[in-house]
Amino acid sequence: MDRYSHRERLELIFRGEKPDRFAASFWRHFFHKEHYAEGTAEAMLDFQKRFDWDFMKINPRADYHVEGWGLKQEWSHDEFTKHRKSNFPVSKLEDWRDIEPLKLSSPVLDEHLRVVSIIRKNVPAGFPILMTVFTPLAVAGRLVDDDNLLAEHIHEHPDKVLPAMEAITQTFEQFVVELRNAGADGIFFATTQWASSNLISWEEYERFGVPYDRRVIEAAGEDAINLFHVCSSSNYLKELVKLDYPCKMYNWDSDDPTNAPVDRGLEMISDKAIVGGVDRNGWLLHASPDEIKYKLGDMTNRFDPSRLIIGPGCSIPPEVPMENLAAIREKL
């Protein structure tokens, strides 16, 4: 039997103290349920009930951030198939001037505030809930059909994009405050593919990412349990950790050969917890439950539970066998 509650375990880790066992959390899309508030909440609650993770990362549909500006989606009713997107709000440079702040009464923002509220009412008191929010730069990236279009506009016409960045940031600053009021303990703040040298330079991320990141994260409040997720290959994790964002945890794809592995990450990040270590597209997806337990045992022998929280480098494929997740939970 566990000695501590999920929140107590995390609080020990945040203080650098050794918990009773390794903490863990995993997250994934449930495409067939995530097109309405009750379905998203039900999927998250069922997943948590089955595996009893140490915190819940609410995994909403990824493009909820931009639907209020006109993006259309044809909902998938298949668990393993993504939604189909159309009507991208920005197709040419002049379209950025049409991006203005959204009201919190916008149907899509209201829907996701209800997701948080439903979940909070149906989990034990104190259980940590994090809602997914993208960096404003990634939100801008969802407004276009092709990442390269935004990258081109940043390279060649930065002043045309900056007013839209301000509108997006104002929207999500307010939204994050209301997420906390709805019952979220913090945010899972994701850079998607933008904090990476694959699309823009670090100097460009310093201008179009960093100041807006900080405003949105800080809106969650000083007591927030925030997780900073640095997506993609060739990421800027090394540069980002030096900025001391107000977060408790860092997460990235440590199995990508272009990124820092877990042990290197632990050296770079000395005062925050790390979530990761599990190869979501490799052994988690393809190994047998017995192999999963062996892999996890090797990991827990190598690392310290006061620094590492077991998890994936990003959202796990929906095709990951449930018995593989069960093997991880049983081994903790």
pTM of the model: 0.97
CA dihedral of residues 135, 140, 144, 150 (deg, nearest 10): -100
Using a pLDDT cut of 70, give the percent of the chain over it. Answer: 100
- Picking from 114, 112, 147, the residue whose alpha carbon sits closest to that of residue 132 is 112
How large is the average pLDDT for residues 34-63?
98
**What are the tens digits of pLDDT across the range 60-111?**
999 999 999 999 999 999 999 999 999 999 999 999 999 999 999 999 999 9
The pLDDT value recorded for residue 1 is 77
- Picking from 319, 312, 226, 289, the residue whose alpha carbon sits closest to that of residue 53 is 312
Longest dimension (CA), the chain: 60
Tracing tokens 């149907």 back to the chain, one arrives at 107
- Picking from 274, 268, 273, 192, the residue whose alpha carbon sits closest to that of residue 230 is 192
User: Roughly what angle, to the nearest 10 degrees, separates helices 322-331 and 37-51?
Assistant: 50
Q: Is 66 exposed, middle or buried (0-12, 13-18, 19+ CB in 10 A)?
A: buried
DSSP reduced 3-state for 243: coil
Main-chain dihedrals φ then ψ at residue 278, nearest 5 degrees = -105, 125
Map out the domains of the chain as residue ranges. Answer: 6-331
The pLDDT value recorded for residue 317 is 98
**What are the tens digits of pLDDT across the range 172-192?**
999 999 999 999 999 999 999
Length of the chain: 332
CA distances from 277 to 216, 246, 280 (A): 27, 22, 9
Mean pLDDT over all residues of the chain? 97
Which residue intervals of the chain are DSSP H helices? 6-14, 37-51, 64-67, 107-121, 136-142, 147-156, 158-182, 202-208, 210-218, 237-241, 262-268, 283-286, 289-302, 322-331
The answer, yes or no, to whether residue 170 has pLDDT greater than 90, is yes
Distance separating alpha carbons of residues 41 and 44, to the nearest angstrom: 5
CATH dotted code for 6-331: 3.20.20.210
The distance of Cα 314 from the centroid of its chain, to the nearest Å, equals: 7
Distance separating alpha carbons of residues 113 and 81, to the nearest angstrom: 25
